[in-house]
Structure formats: structure tokens, C-alpha cells
Structure 1
């Protein structure tokens, strides 16, 4: 399976980390104590927003790589602002590890200290598994360290598996809305300053609204069947939404004024 990277000039303007928790909590229906069940598979993920591309060629490249990532893997770095990983050496797994949260490492720089909360990724079979150091740890003079990580290891590790000093995620899917859903757009301020990628099915409707604008109680719908989303199309949709909001506000003001006039006509003089 190939690994796909975005170009260096495709810098996200918003990155939102999240946790996919495969565990669950059992709540007895007779009122007994709750029980936490930890299951293998808990992992990290990120939601990424890209700014509008400067040229059509750039847009085509981004489109190509995101679409191809549906079958392969898209690699993105887990960003830790204001944290310097330093020079840990060239870490490798030093023994076979089948499960658990403890990983023996070798090839590290003597005296290097891993920090609790620091991210790392382990490359296994061409795929990256992101973990977090669960405790501080100092590398000994021989360059080895038994590190405690979280979450639990999802794939058996072998001697000499590579450990990367920063967390690199292999993302294999864009968000989909097969059963419906909604989300709030994050990222940069400004009109049309963010590009959002998602998977849609032919026949589905996309509803775009602004906070606080209910458009007179009715949503503004755009039928995008067989349409290609471009910056021009998005701008036209936003313009239509702004026009509908203005018409709704004007209509509401006129209705209010008419109501005041009706009440004035019904008022009994002198009272």
C-alpha cells in the first residue's frame, strides 16, 4: 500500500485532533457499579481544513491526492505546538512485542528524555501507528529505553521496527455522512477562507446556513447532484444565502411595521 503526502505548499489552516475510543462502559440495568471495558483498537485521528488553493493546478493536485488516498494512505504529521522533540537518535524497537503498553527501544541518543504526552509513530509493515508516551523516561548510556505508551499496541512489533520521533498519521478515509449529519466549519475567518472535503452520495442534499440565520424558518437547499464543487460555485451559493438572509430580514421588518399600524388603527382614541 502506497503512502501519499500532500505537497509542502498545502499547509492546513486548522487541525483538530480527536480520539477514536473502541472501549465501552457497561452500566448494569439494576443499578450496580459501572465497568469500563478496554478493547483493542483505540487510536488517534485528526480533522484537517485546507485553505483555498492559489491556482487551478494546485487544486487539481490536492484533488488527485485526496482521492487516491481513499485506496492508499495519506500521511500527515501530528503537530505539537511549541514542543521541540530535539535529537532522540534513530530509535528502533529492540524486541518482539505482541501486546500491551510497554515498548523496548534501542538506538537512541544517550541522555535523551522522552516526555509524558509526547507523540511518536511506529512503522510496521509500511503502516504507521501513532502512540503517546505515557510517562517521562531517560535513555541510558547504551541508548536503550523501555518506554510506556498509550493506547495499547494494535499490531505485533518486531525487532528493528522503526520508531519516528514525531507522530505521523496514516489517514485512510475522508469523513462521510451516509446516515446524515452536520458539522460547524472551523479554520480561518473570512468569506470562503476554508476548503472542506467530504464523501457524498449522488442524490444527497447539502444544506449551507449561517449561525443565527434561519431564513424565515426554512433552510436554503442547493441541489448539487452531478455538480463539481469549485470556488466559483461556492461563492455563488454563499451569495444566494446572503441574499436570502437580507430578504428575510427585510420581510420581517415590513411585517413588524404592518403589525404596529394595525394595532394603531384598532386603538380607541383617548385611552
Structure 2
């Protein structure tokens, strides 16, 4: 999995939820229904500030070229939201599925606020989720976190939960990767990442 060099931080980040469900509209004008399907995930459009080609620009281009086939992982900007010090949260018990995760290892009393971003790292892959409701860890450091979207893969017992620096991991999508080189020898780059699973 490719990561960008230290100090290369996006100046534009546009996330979107890819929804595999849909709306069923009856042909006779009856009530519409929402059909939910598993597999919803996130995609982000990323733009980077101008990067001097002589120093970092060529390295960033090289890594993005490799990321096209190997995938990429970048930190999700939290836009001024401080998600605190959660402790060392882990999935508590294997075989979990659905729209919540039972976890332990939290710092007692730590609060997951609605809208916090988090990863569940399963098999080395970072799955991105959003906390759908507030919850506070009990005195034993346990909490049940409501998630959006639903779990895409059942995590193993003791899989790591990341709240301090959540990441988006996936593939660079599109048929090509392009970049610009200014007369000032700066590289301009934008690309899209879609979670692969």
C-alpha cells in the first residue's frame, strides 16, 4: 500500500458515499421504498497544493503511478475536529456484522461523538466508517459504536480501531493519472480514491 511522503498534505478533499442501495418506485404511483444493500463505501477527490518538482513533486508523481496498481492510503483531514485520546480501542469479539461494533480498550469515559471518523483495520486493510451516534466508554473501557455504512467485512477479535488519525485506503480510480508542471517548476496533482472493499 502506497503512502504519500511526509509533509504532503491535501489542500482540497471532497468525500462522497457510494451507495449500492436504491429507491424502488412502483409504476402505479404507490409508496416508494428504500432497498438497502451491503457494500456502501467512500470515495474522495483529493487535490494537492503546488509541490516543487525538484524536491517532492517527482516523488509524489512516482508514488501515485505505483498507487494506480498497488492502492494508496492517506490520512483523512478532520477539518479542525479534535477526536481526542481514545486509548487503544480494539474490536471485542469476532463474528460481528451489521451497523455497530462492540469494542474495548478505550480510555474509560472517552466519548465518541456523532460524526467522528474511524477505521477498523481488518487483515491489514483500513475500512473507513462514520460514527452514527454518540457513545461514551464505560469504566471498563467498553463501548458499542453505531456505524455508517454497515460493516463490509466481519472483523476479527482484537482488530485495531483507529480514531486519532483515520485513513482512507483504496484504489486510485479513473482511466489515467495526469499532472501539470508550471513554469515555476511546481507539480499540480489531483486524483480520486475509492475504497476497494
Aligned to 1:249: none
**Which whole-Å CA distance do the structure 2 matches of 1:69 and 1:10 have between them?**
15
Aligned to 2:101: 103
Q: Displacement of 1:57 after TM fit?
A: 4.2
1:1-271 superposed matches below 5 A: 3-165=1-163, 166-176=165-175, 198-199=176-177, 230-232=181-183
CA RMSD of aligned residues (A): 2.0
Q: Contact conserved, 1:73 with 1:172, CA < 8 A, in 2?
A: yes
Answer 1 or 2: higher relative contact order, Cα 8 Å, separation at least 6: 2
**Which whole-Å CA distance do the structure 2 matches of 1:67 and 1:109 have between them?**
40
Query: TM-score by structure 2 length?
Result: 0.86
**Partner SS for 2:152:** coil
Q: Displacement of 1:82 after TM fit?
A: 2.1
More helix by share: 1
**Which whole-Å CA distance do the structure 2 matches of 1:152 and 1:115 have between them?**
18
* Equivalent pairs, count: 184
More strand by share: 2
**Which whole-Å CA distance do the structure 2 matches of 1:123 and 1:58 have between them?**
29
After superposition, what is the alpha-carbon deviation per residue over 1:161-204, rounded to whole angstroms, capped at 9, x for unaligned?
A: 0110142100312334xxxxxxxxxxxxxxxxxxxxx548xxxx
**Which whole-Å CA distance do the structure 1 matches of 2:110 and 2:125 have between them?**
26
Larger radius of gyration: 1
Unaligned runs of 5+ in 2: 187-197
**Which whole-Å CA distance do the structure 1 matches of 2:51 and 2:96 have between them?**
44
**Which of structure 1's runs of 4+ aligned residues deviate more than 2 A?**
228-232
Q: Displacement of 1:9 after TM fit?
A: 2.4
Query: TM-score by structure 1 length?
Result: 0.64
Q: Displacement of 1:51 after TM fit?
A: 1.9
**Which whole-Å CA distance do the structure 2 matches of 1:151 and 1:36 have between them?**
15
**Which whole-Å CA distance do the structure 1 matches of 2:173 and 2:65 have between them?**
9
Unaligned runs of 5+ in 1: 177-197, 201-227, 236-271
**Which whole-Å CA distance do the structure 1 matches of 2:58 and 2:145 have between them?**
43
